[in-house]
Amino acid sequence: MYLETINGPEDVKKLDIGQLEQLAGEMREALLKRLSFHGGHFGPNFGMVEATIALHYVFDSPRDKFVFDVSHQSYCHKMLTGRREAYLEKEHYDDVSGYSDPSESQHDFFNIGHTSTSVSLASGLVKARDLKGDKENVIAIIGDGSLSGGEALEGIDFASELDSNFIILVNDNDMSIAENHGGLYKNLRALRESGGTCECNLFRAMGLDYVYLGEGNEIGKLIELFHRVKDIDHPIVVHINTIKGKGYVPAEKNKEDWHWCMPFDINTGAPAAAFEAEDYADLTCEFLLEKMKRDPMVTTVVAAVPTNIGFTEEKRREAGRQFVDVGIAEEHGIAFCSGIAKNGGKPVFATHSSFMQRTYDQLSQDLCVNRNPATILVNTASVYGMNDITHLGIYDIAMMSNIPNLVYLAPTNSEEYFAMLDWSIEQTEHPVAIRIPCNGVVHSKEIVDTDYSVLNRYQVVQKGSGTAVLALGDFFQLGEEVAAAISQKTGTSPTLINPRYITGLDEELLKRLTEDHAFVVTLEDGILNGGFGEKIARFYGSSNMKVFNYGLKKEFLDRYAVEDVMKDNHLTPDLILQDLGF
Amino acid sequence: MYLETINGPEDVKKLDIGQLEQLAGEMREALLKRLSFHGGHFGPNFGMVEATIALHYVFDSPRDKFVFDVSHQSYCHKMLTGRREAYLEKEHYDDVSGYSDPSESQHDFFNIGHTSTSVSLASGLVKARDLKGDKENVIAIIGDGSLSGGEALEGIDFASELDSNFIILVNDNDMSIAENHGGLYKNLRALRESGGTCECNLFRAMGLDYVYLGEGNEIGKLIELFHRVKDIDHPIVVHINTIKGKGYVPAEKNKEDWHWCMPFDINTGAPAAAFEAEDYADLTCEFLLEKMKRDPMVTTVVAAVPTNIGFTEEKRREAGRQFVDVGIAEEHGIAFCSGIAKNGGKPVFATHSSFMQRTYDQLSQDLCVNRNPATILVNTASVYGMNDITHLGIYDIAMMSNIPNLVYLAPTNSEEYFAMLDWSIEQTEHPVAIRIPCNGVVHSKEIVDTDYSVLNRYQVVQKGSGTAVLALGDFFQLGEEVAAAISQKTGTSPTLINPRYITGLDEELLKRLTEDHAFVVTLEDGILNGGFGEKIARFYGSSNMKVFNYGLKKEFLDRYAVEDVMKDNHLTPDLILQDLGF
C-alpha cells in the first residue's frame, strides 16, 4: 500500500505514474471507508483525487502555497500532507477537521469553509510574496459552483492586475451543491465542449491568461499541465474538467445527494441510519408548496442550498417557476427578493445563518432602507446547528437584529413558526426574518397568534412574580425548565415570557414587570454581544431591576460538544439558579 | 426654454431631435448652476444627459421601470420626471435628494446609494412582473465603475436565467470614481475599440445578449438603439460609451476630481471655499506614505475611494506598488488584506463606514476566523459623517464590534489615532480596526500610549467619584463637557474614562468603579443597539450601579441636521444632566 508510506509531498514525488494511479485508488478506498462511517463531503473529494496528487507531485508545498476554496475538497490534500492516519484509522478520524486548518499543518494557510474566498485570499499571498521578493507559486483551487459568488468574481477580476505568478485552478465538475445556476456556466460548458478553444471566454474577458484540460481525472495529463504552468510569470486560469463523485457509482449517478453524506452502507449507498423524525426542512417545504399553489405571487428563493428547506429536485420541479435557486449568490438573492417584493411579489428567501453573513449590506441597503416586504428564513441559527468554526449559527442575532426596519422573529415551536411565516408572507409593511427553531420540532397545543403586525408585543406565557424569564426562540424550552426549577426551589412561581420579536422591546410590559419583579433573566441562542439580552439590560440600566443575561460568549467555537458549551455559558437550570442566588 | 415645459416624460416625447438636443443643453446649464452653488455628483450626471433624455423619449416611465445604479447619475432623470424646479430654482434645490427616492416620485423605485445593486434589484422587478403576467420593460442602468462589485457580477450572472424582457444599460465612461481597476475593464476597452464586435465579450460569457453603441452622447442614435431593444423578449446588455463630465471642460479633463464636487466658480472651476483646516485624510496619507517608505511590507489598500485617506493621483504614484486600489470590491479588499497579512505583509485597508457593510462575511471568515494582523481604517463613522440615508456611518459599531477576534479601537484625538495606527501596523497578533475620528482634528498634549497589546484596558483620564463617564471615540470631547457640567452642577468631580477598545470590557476597572460610583454614563457615536454601552449595561445588570447609555436610536436617518439628531437623542450635557437628576 503506497498511501501508508506517504508522510508528506516529498513521498508523492518518489512514485511513478503507475504507482500514483494505484495511490489514487487507495485514497478513494480510504475516503469511501471513512465517509461511510463518519459522513462528510463526498463528491468534491472523490472528484479531486488525481488533481491533488498531481499538484503535490509538481509543486513544492508548503513553499508553494495551495488555497482550497471552501476547502471541503481538501481531504486528499490532508492525506498527502502528514495527516493520512485521520483517513486510515478509525480512532484518528476526528483528528482533523473537514476543512483546511493552519493549526493542523503548515500545508494549510487559512481556515476556510465559506465558498468563493480562495482567489482573493491567495492574491493576498501573491502580493506579499512580491513585496518580499520571494518566488514561490501561489495556487488557488476553486470549484465551479463557487464561481458565482461575488467575492470570487471580484477576486478573479482583480487577479489580472497582478503581474506575477498566480495560478487559479478551476475544478469544473458542472455542479454546485445542486445543479449550477447562472450564465457563466453556459460559458464553462462552451469551453468544455470546444476543448477550451472557444473565443468567448469568461476568464479571458476578465483579463486572464487561460489553459484547458478535459481529462481532469488523468494523473499523467494533469502532471504535464501543472509542469507547464509552474513558475509562470503572470496570472493564469487552469480550467480542468473533473467528475464529481468519480469512482463510486451511486455518487457519480446522483451528484446532488452525494455532495455531502451521512454514514452509509458501502454496498448499497443507503444511509446507515434512517431519520424518521419530523424536521423543519420538510415541513417548511410542504408549507411553501401549498402557499405557492394557492398564490402565484409567492416565490421561494434559495442560494445553492435548496434542500435546507426541503426542496429536493422533485419538490423544485413541483414549485416550477415559483422556485428560484440563484446559485451561490446571497447578495444577489436578497436584492432580488427586495425587487420582487417591490413589484408585488411575495418572496421567501432561505439560507443558513452562517451564509446570511455574505449579504449584510443587501439586507441593510437593498431591503431594509427600502422597507420591502420580503421574508427571510434563517436556519441552523443555533448552538445546536453546524459546529465547524466556519459554519457557526450563533452570530445572526448580533448581525441582523440591529439593522433598522427589519422585523426579526424568534418562534418557539412549530405552530408559532408557521403562523409567523404565514403572516410574514401576506403582510406588506416590513422586511421580516424568521429564525427557524433548531432544537427539534416542538409542538404546542396553545393557540398561537396569527397576526404579528403590532410589533414588539411579547407574550406572557405564565404570569408570576419575583423573577421574569424572557426565553427567546428555541431557548424557550430551556426557559420553561428554568421557570419550573425556580418555582420548585423558591415556592414562588416566576413569570415566563416568549419575546417573539428579537428586534424590539415591549416597553410597556417591561415597565410593568418592575411592579412585582426584582429579577429578569434573558435566554438567547446566540452570542450575548450585540444580542437581545443586552437591550433588556440597557432598558433596565438605571432602574432597580436586576438583569441576568444568558447566551453564548463572543468567540469562534470549533467542533464542540453542545453540552460543554451550554455548561461553560451557565446555560442550565441549575447553574442559572445558582447565579440568581436561589 | 424647453426644460421649463417638462412636467413629466410625456412632455419629452413631444419634442423633436433638434429640440431634445436643445433640452440637453439647458439641462447641462441647470446642472452646472446648481452644482456650482450646491455641490454634488458632477461627472456622472453630465455624462448621462443624452441617454436619460433618450430613455424617457423611448420608454414609458413609470410603467417601464428604470433602476439607476448608485443613482448618483439620476439628476437628469429627476429633472424630466416632475422635479425640474429642484434643478432650476435655488429655493427648491433641497427639495430632492442626491439619489433616487420613491418618496419623491413614482418614477423612482428604490432608495439607492451603494454601488452594484441595480441589476439584482431590477431582476426582482422582472421576476414579479412575469409572475403577474405583466409586460412592461425593466431597465437597469449601471456605470462601468460599479461592474466590479460582487453584487453586480452576481446579478449579471443570474440575469441570463431570466427568459423575458430585461435591459441592462451599461454606461461605460472608462472611469470609476478614480480610474477603473480590474481585468474586466480591459474587455470593455476591447469592446469599445472593436465597436462591440470582439468575440471575447464579458457579457456574452455570462450568457447575455449584447449590443453596442459608441456614440453614447448622441440623442438620435440612442433613441434608435433604445427603440431596437424596447419590448425585447429576453435579457440584453446595451453597452454605450459616454464621456464623464461631458460639456464642462474642467470636468472632462480631470474626471476624478469632478466625480463629485463642492460648490465652485463656474468660470474657473475653482472651489468656492478654501479648506485650509487640517483633516484626517491628508494626515493619514502622509503617515502611511512615511511608513511605506521605511518598510516595503506596508501596503495601503483602498476600494475605489483613494482620496478618502488622502491618496490623490500624485500620492498614489508616490506610494507605487505599495498602494493598491482594488476598485469597487470591498469583499475582495478585506480577503486580499488577510492574505497579505498571512504572508508577512502589513496591509492597511480603508473605506467609509457605510461601505464596510459590503464586507461583513470577509471580516468574519477571511480575516477574523484566521486572526490575521491586517489594519482596517473606518472613516466617516459618525453622526458627523455623510447624512444621506444610504451613506450613514452610525452602524459599524453594531456590525463590527460583535465579531470575535477583531480589535476595534476608538481614538479620541489625532495623537492617539496615529499611535494606534502605528501599533496596529507593527503588531502581529490581531485583526485591528480603527474608527477615524470625525469631529475635526483634535490635538492633545497628553502623552498617549504607544502599545495597545494588552487588550481592553480603558484609560482613566480623570479620577473622581459618584459618576463615571465612559466617552468613546469622537464623543470623548462631549464626555469632557458632560464631566465638566457634572462637576459644576454637583460640586463633585466625576470620573472620566476613555475606553479606547470598542470590542471588550475592562472588567477590573468596571468592578473597581462600583466601590465609589453610583452612576455610569456611556457615550458612543453610533446606534445604541448592539453597541458599546449595552455591553456596559449587561456587565452591571445584576449590580446596584445605575447605567445610562447615550448614543443614537436604531433608525435610518436622512439628510438630517446634526444638532437636531443630537438633541433628539439627549446627546447634550444639559439633557444628560437632567436625565441623571442632577
Instruction: Name chain B contacts of A300, Cβ cutoff 8 Å.
Output: none
CA B89 to chain A, closest CA, distance in angstroms equals 29
CA dihedral A197, A203, A209, A211 (to 10 degrees): -40
Q: Which of A149, A297, A370 sits opposite B110 (nearest CB)?
A: A370
Strand partners, A517: A466
Q: What is the DSSP letter of A494?
A: P
| Calpha distance A248→A266 (Å, rounded) | 9
Q: What is the pLDDT of residue B174?
A: 83
Q: A100: nearest CA in chain B?
A: B370
A166 vs B: CB within 8 A: no
Q: What is the pLDDT of residue A174?
A: 83
* Continuous H helices in B343-375: 353-356, 360-361
Note whether A332 contacts B151, CB cutoff 8 Å.
yes
Question: Cell triple for residue B414?
Answer: 489625532
B122 vs A: CB within 8 A: yes
- Closest of B203, B214, B107 to residue B153, by C-alpha: B203
Asked if the interface predicted TM-score (ipTM) of this complex is over 0.90, the answer is yes
Note whether A157 contacts B102, CB cutoff 8 Å.
no
Instruction: Name chain A contacts of B367, Cβ cutoff 8 Å.
Output: none
CA A270 to chain B, closest CA, distance in angstroms equals 34
Note whether A365 contacts B160, CB cutoff 8 Å.
no
Asked if residues B411 and B473 have their Cβ atoms less than 8 Å apart, the reply is yes
Distances (CA, A) of A431 to A290, A328, A363, A487, B530: 22, 22, 9, 39, 19
Note whether B121 contacts A208, CB cutoff 8 Å.
no
> Could you say which residues from 263 to 282 on chain B have a Cβ atom under 8 Å away from some Cβ of chain A?
none
Strand partners, B301: B324, B349
| Calpha distance A335→B125 (Å, rounded) | 10
> Could you say which residues from 335 to 374 on chain B have a Cβ atom under 8 Å away from some Cβ of chain A?
335-345, 347, 357-358, 360-362, 364-366, 368-370
Note whether A127 contacts B535, CB cutoff 8 Å.
no
Note whether B339 contacts A126, CB cutoff 8 Å.
yes
Question: Would you give per-residue pLDDT tens digits along chain A (582 residues)?
Answer: 999 999 999 999 999 999 999 999 999 999 999 999 999 999 999 999 999 999 999 999 999 999 999 999 999 999 999 999 999 999 999 999 999 999 999 999 999 999 999 999 999 999 999 999 999 999 999 998 999 999 999 999 999 999 999 999 999 988 777 788 899 999 999 999 999 999 999 999 999 999 999 999 999 999 999 999 999 999 999 999 999 999 999 999 988 889 999 999 999 999 998 777 899 999 999 999 999 999 999 999 999 999 999 999 999 999 999 999 999 999 999 999 999 999 999 999 999 999 999 999 999 999 999 999 999 999 999 999 999 999 999 999 999 999 999 999 999 999 999 999 999 999 999 999 999 999 999 999 989 999 999 999 999 999 999 999 999 999 999 999 999 999 999 999 999 999 999 999 999 999 999 999 999 999 999 999 999 999 999 999 999 999 999 999 999 999 999 999 999 999 999 999 999 999
B534 vs A: CB within 8 A: yes
CA B331 to chain A, closest CA, distance in angstroms equals 6
**Burial tier of A168 (Cβ tally within 10 Å: 0-12, 13-18, 19+):** buried
Q: Which of B127, B327, B347 sits opposite A299 (nearest CB)?
A: B127
CA B119 to chain A, closest CA, distance in angstroms equals 9
| Calpha distance A452→A145 (Å, rounded) | 38
CA A242 to chain B, closest CA, distance in angstroms equals 21
> Could you say which residues from 68 to 107 on chain B have a Cβ atom under 8 Å away from some Cβ of chain A?
102
Note whether B331 contacts A154, CB cutoff 8 Å.
yes
Type of residue numbered B444: S
Q: What is the pLDDT of residue A275?
A: 75
pLDDT tens per residue across span B308-352: 999 999 999 999 999 999 999 999 999 999 999 999 999 999 999
| Calpha distance A256→A260 (Å, rounded) | 8
Q: What is the pLDDT of residue B277?
A: 85
Q: Which of B148, B366, B404 sits opposite A554 (nearest CB)?
A: B404
Q: What is the mean pLDDT of each run of 10 residues along chain B (582 residues)?
A: 96 98 98 94 94 98 98 97 97 96 98 98 98 98 94 97 97 82 94 97 98 98 98 98 93 90 92 86 98 98 96 97 97 98 98 98 98 98 97 98 98 98 98 97 94 98 98 98 98 98 98 98 98 98 98 98 98 98 94
Note whether A151 contacts B362, CB cutoff 8 Å.
yes
Pairing label, strands A346-352, A407-409: unpaired
Note whether B366 contacts A535, CB cutoff 8 Å.
no
Distances (CA, A) of A63 to A13, A59, A224, A259, B123: 15, 9, 20, 31, 45
**Burial tier of A555 (Cβ tally within 10 Å: 0-12, 13-18, 19+):** middle
Q: What is the pLDDT of residue A181?
A: 87
CA dihedral B411, B414, B419, B425 (to 10 degrees): 80
Q: What is the pLDDT of residue A77?
A: 98
CA B35 to chain A, closest CA, distance in angstroms equals 26
Note whether A183 contacts B156, CB cutoff 8 Å.
yes
- The residues near B144 (Cβ < 8 Å, ≥ 6 apart) are B170, B171, B172, B173, B174, B175, B176, B180, B185, B188
Note whether A331 contacts B154, CB cutoff 8 Å.
yes
